[in-house]
Amino acid sequence: MTDTIPDYLVTHSGGFHADELLSSVVLTRLFPNARIMRSRDREWITAGPDRIIYDVGGAYDPAVRIFDHHQRGAPVRDSGEPYSSFGLIWKHYGRDYLSAWGIPDTQIAKVHEAFDSSFVLPVDLMDNGAMSSTEAGRLAPLTLPVMLETLKPAFDNPDPEAETAAFHSALAIARSFLEANIAGHAAELRAAEMVMAAIAKAGESRILELPMGMPFRSAVVSAGADHLLFVVHPRGKDWCLTGIRRFEEGFDLRADLPAAWAGLTDADLERASGVEGASFCHKGRFIAAARTREAALAMASIAVEEALAGQ
């Protein structure tokens, strides 16, 4: 792995997830002068000596500091469990992070392993849709009440004001979560109205086109639109194609995207799908992207045909 200090920490634009956020926490501590660049443009997500790329780029190559997990052949642990970008960044940079944080050298290996199994792995599994009901128990230490309590000062902190300072730090975080949650519920109601209008417009089509990305499953269920299989909507400069989950819990879809597309990008995906402008398909086959609306709709039509043929 190159020792060059990066000027840029590159991850994808659009909606964010826990894995690249937590990766960014690690990397910004190690490289505080590096600028976070959120982009899907090819010029940014191509490896270079001035950057670390994570959760985007379609490759895992530590030698050139690119850490994606969406492609075919993505790395897995010795246990067979998948990595997210957070797991990959922690694998390669976690020990340096712990050292920068002040953990004694004699304790770094143990702390690294313990944190990986208790914190990093559940995030990885959740991000990959690989968490069974049994494994969901691993998320218990990551629930908001427990996480807030971890902000308490260490038992041997001698500062008499440590608990008060920690309380106010936790208060700011708790306020952010509470207010964001309330705003999210209000946004879901606005989204439901938009989804209902789109369902009416779609009629008997198996494809639901939305004017933007938004929560849609609850409105689809409420409308009794059981015939819908895929959703298409714009996303920044491109278009997104997603499946519809069968249930609130879990990741089982009404229909998966074609197996031949899994983990492919750009020219490879165009060849596999026969659609010019197809740009990405997650290896889990629940989301894909295209450069134009026409390409996204064409991919959705192909996915519908294959899904119906397999019934």
- What tens digit of pLDDT does each residue of 247-259 get? 876 678 999 999 9
DSSP state at residue 83: P
Q: Which helix (H) or strand (E) holds 207?
A: strand 207-209
Burial of 70 (0-12, 13-18, 19+ CB in 10 A): buried
> Which residues, 6+ apart, have CB-to-CB distance to 177 below 8 Å?
144
In whole angstroms, give the CA distance from residue 201 to residue 205. 9
* 112 SS3 class: helix
Residue 182: the pLDDT is 80
DSSP state at residue 153: P
CB distance 115 to 94 below 8 Å: yes
Residue 191: the pLDDT is 95
In whole angstroms, give the CA distance from residue 111 to residue 118. 10
Report residues of the chain scoring pLDDT below 70: 1-2, 132-136, 249-250, 311
* 280 SS3 class: strand
CB distance 306 to 257 below 8 Å: no
238-243 and 287-290 beta bridge pairing: antiparallel
Give the number of other CB atoms < 10 A from CB of residue 98: 20
pLDDT tens digits along 50-102? 999 999 999 999 999 999 999 989 999 999 999 999 999 999 999 999 999 88
> Which residues, 6+ apart, have CB-to-CB distance to 49 below 8 Å?
2, 4
Enter the tokens of residue 60: 């895992």
Give the number of other CB atoms < 10 A from CB of residue 196: 16
Enter the tokens of residue 261: 């597309």
CB distance 273 to 217 below 8 Å: no
The amino acid occupying position 226 is: D
Residue 206: the pLDDT is 98
Residue 133: the pLDDT is 59
In the chain the domains, ranked by start, together with CATH numbers, are 8-142 (no CATH), 186-309 (3.10.310)
CB distance 272 to 225 below 8 Å: no
* 265 SS3 class: strand
Residue 30: the pLDDT is 95
H helix runs in 119-161, sequence order: 121-127, 144-149
The amino acid occupying position 23 is: S
In whole angstroms, give the CA distance from residue 265 to residue 270. 8
